[in-house]
Amino acid sequence: MSAFEKVPKTTTLKVTRFIEFLKLAHAKDPIKFSHVVFYVGTCVRLDKVKSEFKGFTNDHIEDFPVHRLVDDNLKEVVSNNTLVWKSYQNHPMKTEINKAYHLLINDGYPYPGGQGSDRSGYPMHDKLWCIFFEHRTTEIQNLVVDEDIKTLSSYSAAAVGGNYRRTDYMFPQVYCTIGPGPDFKVTNFTLVEILDETLFDKMSKVSNGKNLKT
């Protein structure tokens, strides 16, 4: 298996079930804005945001959760993240992506134990959970499916959703964009294969919560 195939397969299930939910919601109250879903399920709603991401700043680098990196390779991670972001800049959906990046990165890393990590899991649709961070922007939620968790409970869903949110913050890559209703057109993105296998394997371990502090 390629290192690039280690991204959670459940993201496809998350998007499929989320679109089913959007269609039901749209029938009651039209949804006129887009969503961007990052690779492990962080979902950004673009109904209010106007600012666009311009690149990773020194403040972001200084606040980066280096304790989750296996080695001291922050420079390499930021460099790769920058190349990934730049790869979207010629895409027709770049405006939506840049708005989503702006919200995700500027909302910060939810350090465990801090007020910003408080979150709750709610059943949204068939086998789909929505994780809300109580002291962060309401425009970002994390999608979790039953297949992600061992024990079906809001606590377990919230725990997994928190880990996925942290992973998408550390290694942001877009899984897809979802257009407004009624069509909810999906534009899929493949993982940008510029990460070497060693670094991506570290990303996979972060995603799976193995061997790393949160």
CA distance 94 to 105: 16
Q: What DSSP assignment string belongs to 37-66?
A: EETTSEEEE-SS---------HHHHHTS-G
Yes or no: say if 191 and 39 are a contact pair by the CB < 8 Å rule. Answer: yes
Amino acid 138: pLDDT: 92
CA distance 73 to 172: 16
Give the pair of three-digit tokens for residue 167.
């992973």
Amino acid 194: pLDDT: 52
pLDDT averages per 10-residue partition of the chain, 214 residues:
54 94 96 96 94 94 85 82 94 97 95 84 94 92 92 90 92 95 93 56 45 37
Amino acid 6: pLDDT: 52
Amino acid 190: pLDDT: 82
CA distance 116 to 174: 23
Amino acid 71: pLDDT: 66
Indicate the angle between helix axes 197-208 and 74-86, nearest 10 degrees: 90
Amino acid 15: pLDDT: 95
Amino acid 165: pLDDT: 93
**CA distance to 7, 71, 131, per residue, from 105 (Å):** 20, 22, 18
Beta strands in 33-185 (DSSP E): 35-38, 42-45, 119-125, 128-133, 140-145, 174-178
Amino acid 77: pLDDT: 87
